[in-house]
Structure 1
Amino acid sequence: MIAPNQWFDDFQKNMSDLLSKTPAADIERNVKALMAQTFARMDLITREEFDVQTDLLARALERVEALEARVQALEQQLDKTE
């Protein structure tokens, strides 16, 4: 008697062999190529690039807030001297 894991492995191998010999394999390759081409035209970015830009934006916003507070303090000093 064949062990259940061996039977599943054999079944998977047989199905893979069968699918590789059918038009389904060609269709899969064509769909993958079409999707890759479409994604290339969409000008997408990677998750790492997105995270870097998010981090840069957060730091820029912090700097803007600090500069706004500084300008407000300077304006208050100017109002006191006038």
Structure 2
Amino acid sequence: MQSENPFVADFVKMMNSAAGTLAGMGREARENAREKFKEFMGDMDYVTREEFDAVKQLAATAREEAEALKARVAALEARNG
């Protein structure tokens, strides 16, 4: 039969409780950080992929039109100048 020291038993119980408390605190901190990050990201103004692609297409069209106008102006200047 094994004799049990009450001091050791109490110390082991206390350490088990402390470990459980620390694990709970870690989970709570992780969940709190996750919620804060979600709030932070939710407050930012992000565009959808469709909006981005639409603006990208508008920019490409504008660039093509600008190049065409440059060529037209150059041709007019060459003819007149």
Which TM bucket (shorter chain)? 0.5 to 0.7
The runs of 4+ residues in structure 1 deviating greater than 6 Å are none
Task: Return the letter of the residue paired with 1:60.
Answer: A
Cα distance in 2 for partners of 1:56, 1:74 equals 27
Deviations, residues 29-54 of structure 1 (Å, cap 9, x unaligned): 872x4333212322111111111110
Query: What is the DSSP-based 3-state SS (H/G/I as helix, E as strand, rest coil) of the residue aligned with 1:45?
Result: coil
1:48 aligns with 2:53: no
Tell me, which stretches of 5 or more residues in structure 2 are unaligned? 1-23
Normalising by structure 2, report the TM-score. Answer: 0.55
Normalising by structure 1, report the TM-score. Answer: 0.54
Instruction: Give 1:57 shift.
Output: 0.3
Cα distance in 2 for partners of 1:66, 1:37 equals 46
Q: 1:60 aligns with which of 50, 59, 62?
A: 62
Answer with 1 or 2: which has the greater Rg. 2
Structure with larger RCO (C-alpha < 8 A, sep 6+): 1
Tell me, which stretches of 5 or more residues in structure 1 are unaligned? 1-21
State the aligned residue count.
57
